[in-house]
Each structure stands twice: as C-alpha cells, then as structure tokens.
C-alpha cells in the first residue's frame, strides 16, 4: 500500500490512490468437519506488511495507471486463485472513508466473486478459505466489505440466476438446496425452489441421474442452469425464511 504525504493544511494526505478488493465466495463444508453442513466461505490472504500486518485480508491492491478497476481486479485475483474457476465477478460499491487506511488516502472499489461448489483451485501458502460466519481478525475495513458482498449475494439469489456461479455444472435439487440455504442463511424448501427456478426457465433436467448414495435408494435426477451469465429473472421475488 503506497504511503501518501499529508497536505500542507494538515488534514488528510494530499494524494489519493485507488485499489480494488475482491470478496470471493464459495460454498463448502467446514474444514474441521468435511461432512458437515455447507457454509459460504470467503478467500482471504495474510498480509505481510503494515498496516495490519499478519491479519487476514481480501485479495486486491492498487490500480495501475493504465488499467480500469475491472481489469485490475481480474489481474490481482489471478495472483491468488485460478481465474478460470471464478464464474462471476461484479462491483459491489466504493469504500471511501478518509480514514479507512491509516496515514494514507485510499479509495477502494469492492467486488463480489463466486467460485462453484465443485471447484478447488490451488491456493498460495498465505491464502485460505474462511467461513463468512466466523471470520478471523481482518485487516482495515475488509470485514465490512465481506459483509456488503454477502448482503449482495443474498439479495441477488432471490431475483436473479446468480446461483449458477456457485453450483457445479450438474447437480441434484438437494445439492442446489444446500447451496441456497448456505448463502441465504436459512433453510429453503427444495420443492418450491425447483418449481420457482423451472417456472423462470432457469432450471432444466439433464436426463441423467446422480450416482447412488451409500444407503442406496432411487438415484436423484441431475439438473443444470440453462443460462450461465447473470440475468434478472424476477425483480420482485424473495426467498424468505420458513414460517415457524
């Protein structure tokens, strides 16, 4: 992070630098309990330099003079994760509190990135997935940016097909339900989920079935998303928690 000198008036630094920060999410079982309930995880790396050296941070960095924020985010993510595994990347907002970085004026553009459930990209030693519900000590305002990204994902799951970027290419309705439940933070009825997505034209059967589970039984039908780019499917829809 470049240091900026203070202005002659004694307030904030005279120069402003621009950075990008990406909250990249995936759905996975807890590391300590591989067979446990899947959760949304975020990709974090451990900072080597001050400010907040040693704390966990979002991948990103300074935007170069010859690039825009989108190409900068893609470039810097490529240093941490195989970009071919990032199925969706979008801006979620600008973070411009004058004091968000000590002794510097740094404006950040935040991004939401999504990696499918079945992807397992190779990560550098200083980088790891962490459950969003139990973040470690994060650097600067990066925890708040993770929260903004999680809110964006929850909202878009209701009125877009954004779950295509979290799901594998083929999946059972039960697997899709676990993805939605993990990202929304509440249980989702699988029958209703299948009905809603099919009505919107977003879900189609593949004509094949999943391998039988350890307990046997009738093989579950496999489905796929019909469109693999972001679409608004129902601007007024919302998946709500089940009534108790």
Residue that is last in its domain, among 125, 157, 189: 157
For range 48-68, the mean pLDDT: 94
pLDDT tens per residue, range 141-199 = 999 999 999 999 999 999 999 999 999 999 999 999 999 999 999 999 999 999 999 99
73 and 95 inside one domain: yes
Cα–Cα distance measured from residue 244 to residue 242, given in angstroms and rounded to the nearest whole number: 6
CATH code of residue 150: 3.90.79.10
Dist. CA 160–CA 218, nearest whole Å: 31
> How open is the CA angle 63-138-42, to the nearest 5 degrees?
75
pLDDT of residue 111: 98
Question: Looking at residues 89-106, what average pLDDT do you find?
Answer: 95
d(CA 134, CA 128): 14
- Could you tell me if 58 and 143 lie in one domain? yes
Task: Say if residue 121 is in the same domain as residue 169.
Answer: no
CATH number at residue 166: 1.10.10.10
- Please name which of 150, 143, 173, 207 lies closest in space to residue 27, comparing C-alpha atoms: 150
185/211 same-domain check: yes
Q: Are residues 91 and 196 in the same domain?
A: no
What does the pLDDT look like over 104-131, one tens digit per residue? 999 999 999 999 998 988 898 999 999 9
pLDDT of residue 109: 98
Domain encompassing residue 52: 17-157
pLDDT confidence tier of residue 201, bands split at 50, 70 and 90: very high
**From its phi and psi, is residue 72 left (phi > 0), alpha (psi between -120 and 50) or beta?**
alpha
Q: Average model confidence (pLDDT) for the chain?
A: 88
Q: Judge whether 118 lies within some domain.
A: yes
Determine, yes or no, domain membership for 2: no
Residue 42: inside a domain, yes or no? yes
The count of domains in the chain is 2
pTM over 0.85: yes
User: Domain for residue 231, yes or no?
Assistant: no
Residues 6+ apart with CB under 8 A from 202: 161, 164, 225, 226, 227, 231, 233
56 with 125, same domain: the answer is: yes
């Amino acid at each position: 992070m470049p240091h900026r000198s203070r202005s002659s008036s004694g307030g904030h630094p005279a120069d402003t630098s621009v950075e990008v920060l990406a909250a990249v999410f995936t759905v996975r079982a807890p590391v300590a309990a591989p067979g446990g309930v899947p959760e949304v995880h975020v990709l974090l790396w451990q900072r080597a330099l001050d400010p907040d050296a040693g704390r966990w941070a979002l991948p990103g960095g300074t935007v170069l003079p010859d690039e825009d924020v989108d190409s900068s985010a893609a470039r810097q993510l490529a240093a941490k994760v195989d970009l071919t595994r990032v199925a969706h990347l979008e801006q979620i907002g600008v973070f411009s509190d004058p004091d968000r970085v000590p002794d510097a004026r740094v404006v950040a553009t935040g991004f939401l990135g999504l990696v499918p459930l079945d992807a397992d990209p190779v990560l550098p030693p200083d980088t790891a997935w962490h459950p969003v519900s139990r973040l470690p000590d994060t650097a600067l305002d990066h925890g708040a940016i993770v929260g903004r990204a999680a809110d964006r994902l929850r909202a878009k799951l209701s009125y877009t097909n954004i779950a295509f970027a979290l799901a594998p290419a083929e999946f059972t309705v039960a697997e899709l339900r676990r993805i939605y439940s993990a990202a929304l933070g509440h249980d989702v009825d699988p029958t209703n989920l299948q009905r809603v997505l099919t009505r919107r034209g977003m879900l189609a059967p593949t004509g094949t079935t999943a391998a039988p589970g350890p307990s046997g039984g009738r093989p579950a039908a496999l489905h796929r998303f019909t469109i693999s780019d972001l679409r608004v499917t129902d601007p007024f829809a919302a998946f709500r928690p089940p009534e108790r």
